[in-house]
């Protein structure tokens, strides 16, 4: 099991350089765009910040998750596709000894799309609430 985590970590580090490394900037930037847009909507509708709302709303979690998926689902899927293309390039074109690992594509897409969205949406929401409170 330790070897599995070590391999995943090493493969993730290798993805930050070489072919298609631009996605480590592009995907979080797109997530930031959607998070800002969603935080502005939250502030306008006077709703609780996203992650907090998700944690305290037991009966509405599915609806809250769908709301986020509408914003960031395309970025997540795009991230998975980019990582699969990256792995195809590294494995087949560059003829490395690496193998294709689909689970790593999910991990990379989650780390580059979903996590920044959650972090940025909450942070931007709080900033916008403070600005709105100062205006009133």
Q: Where are the domains of the chain?
A: 2-135
Query: What per-residue confidence (pLDDT) applies to 94?
Result: 65
pLDDT at 120 over 80: yes
Per the prediction, the chain carries an average pLDDT of: 84
Token pair of 91 as six digits:
């494995």
Instruction: Identify whether the C-beta of residue 107 lies closer than 8 Å to the C-beta of residue 12.
Output: yes
CA-CA distances (angstroms) from residue 60 to 15, 19, 30, 79? 37, 41, 26, 27
Which tens digits make up the pLDDT trace of 56-85? 888 888 888 888 888 888 888 988 888 888
Share of the chain above pLDDT 70, in %: 96
Instruction: Identify whether the C-beta of residue 87 lies closer than 8 Å to the C-beta of residue 105.
Output: yes
pLDDT at 27 over 70: yes
Token pair of 16 as six digits:
């930050």
Instruction: Identify whether the C-beta of residue 19 lies closer than 8 Å to the C-beta of residue 90.
Output: yes
Which tens digits make up the pLDDT trace of 41-63? 988 988 887 788 888 888 888 88
The span from the CA of 117 to the CA of 36, in Å, is 9
The span from the CA of 117 to the CA of 38, in Å, is 9
């Amino acid at each position: 099991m330790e070897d599995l985590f070590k391999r995943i970590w090493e493969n993730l580090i290798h993805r930050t350089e070489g072919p298609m490394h631009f996605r480590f900037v592009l995907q979080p930037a797109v997530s930031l765009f959607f998070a800002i847009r969603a935080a502005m909507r939250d502030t306008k509708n006077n709703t609780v910040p996203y992650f907090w709302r998700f944690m305290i709303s037991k009966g509405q979690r599915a609806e809250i998750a769908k709301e986020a998926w509408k914003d960031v689902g395309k970025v997540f899927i795009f991230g998975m596709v980019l990582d699969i293309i990256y792995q195809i390039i590294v494995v087949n074109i560059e003829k490395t000894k690496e193998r294709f690992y689909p689970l790593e594509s999910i991990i990379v897409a989650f780390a580059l799309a979903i996590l920044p969205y959650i972090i940025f949406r909450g942070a931007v929401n709080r900033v916008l609430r403070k600005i709105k409170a100062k205006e009133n």
